[in-house]
Amino acid sequence: MIMKNQKEIPILFLKEITRNGLSVTRFQQADDQDMLLKAAHRDDHYVFVFQLQGQSRIMVDFSEVTLNGCSILCILPGQVHQGISAKNVEALFIAIEPALIKGSMQSIFEEKVPIQGIVTLSATDAILLEKIIELLIEIISRTAKGNVQTEISRSLTDTCIALIAGAFDMDDDSTHGSQLRPVIITKQFRRLLSQLYKTERAPSGYAGLMNISTSYLNEAVKRVTGFPASYWIQQQIVIEAKRILFYTDCSVKQISAILGFEDHHYFSRFFTKGAGMSPMYFRQMYRE
């Protein structure tokens, strides 16, 4: 794919689509021409793709994901994504600003989505979620506005998001017994990482901010996610570097500065270790 010269990755702002912080769109029997209108971009909001039937393929941060039949894809704010293909797809798209998602729900998405971006629903849960979303669409479309209507909309939105979060969290038994503490630590670490990855690249730095030992941080994060804290730090930086390499024409030296590296040679070695290829080779390979 050949990209046009760009200085930064395109960002889609939800406020340019709606003033309500929430947009729900239904696609019926959609094929490629309906689903692939937007170029690769990132959003300042959450996107939930609730596919009822059909098959679709979407690129999310350089990983291709396939939705078959009834399933849900969650795209986090900041993740670069683009539709690849769609065949006989019936789906509901929910775009919602982070402020409208409760903190407990956001924690589930932040923890689970990087590991499992897609979940499948049982027929019963799918029917229930579809009915609630349809009711939400009807409430949003009413022209008369008022406090009662706003409260109904908020309640339905909370219910939709809670059902989706429950689908991502349903296999989680880590909140029981002795594993409760590691889950809390992992969530706190991931939240700090999303804010500080440009300036803090050592697990010890995050452990210090959390007032725990580095070994305990790594042990807790690995128990919950399967990988130590150092892995997620590396992944956070490498993914952002890939985004900039692919969607902009910034030089490696410029990218290293953007990501907080003083030495671009060190950044190149860091990227190569995490991505398995040099920055320029990655750019060349993915732009072909």
Helix (H) or strand (E) holding 228: none
The strand pairing partners of 118, in sequence order, are 73
pLDDT of residue 288: 58
* Residue 66: strand, helix, or coil: strand
- The span from the CA of 288 to the CA of 275, in Å, is 18
For residue 24, what are the contacts with CB-CB under 8 A and spacing of at least 6? 92, 93, 94, 95, 133, 136, 137, 140
pTM greater than 0.85: no
pLDDT of residue 4: 42
Q: Are 192 and 210 in contact (CB under 8 A)?
A: yes
pLDDT of residue 34: 52
Q: Are 80 and 42 in contact (CB under 8 A)?
A: yes
Residues of the chain with pLDDT under 50: 1-5, 173-178
- The span from the CA of 132 to the CA of 48, in Å, is 15
pLDDT of residue 276: 87
- The span from the CA of 51 to the CA of 86, in Å, is 11
pLDDT of residue 171: 52
- The span from the CA of 41 to the CA of 82, in Å, is 7
Q: Is the dihedral of CA 210, 214, 219, 225 positive or negative?
A: positive
- The span from the CA of 268 to the CA of 241, in Å, is 10
Chain Cα centroid distance, residue 19: 22
Q: Which domains does the chain have, with CATH numbers?
A: 11-169 (2.60.120.280), 177-287 (1.10.10.60)
The strand pairing partners of 96, in sequence order, are 22, 46
Q: Which residues of 95-130 are buried (b: 16+ CB within 10 A; e: fewer)?
A: bbbeebbeeebbbbbbbbbbeebbbebeeebbeebb
Kindly give the pairing relationship between strand 46-60 and strand 22-30: unpaired
Q: Are 49 and 69 in contact (CB under 8 A)?
A: no
Helix (H) or strand (E) holding 267: helix 264-275
Q: Are 80 and 63 in contact (CB under 8 A)?
A: no
Distances (CA, A) of 272 to 22, 114, 280: 39, 21, 10
pLDDT of residue 1: 34
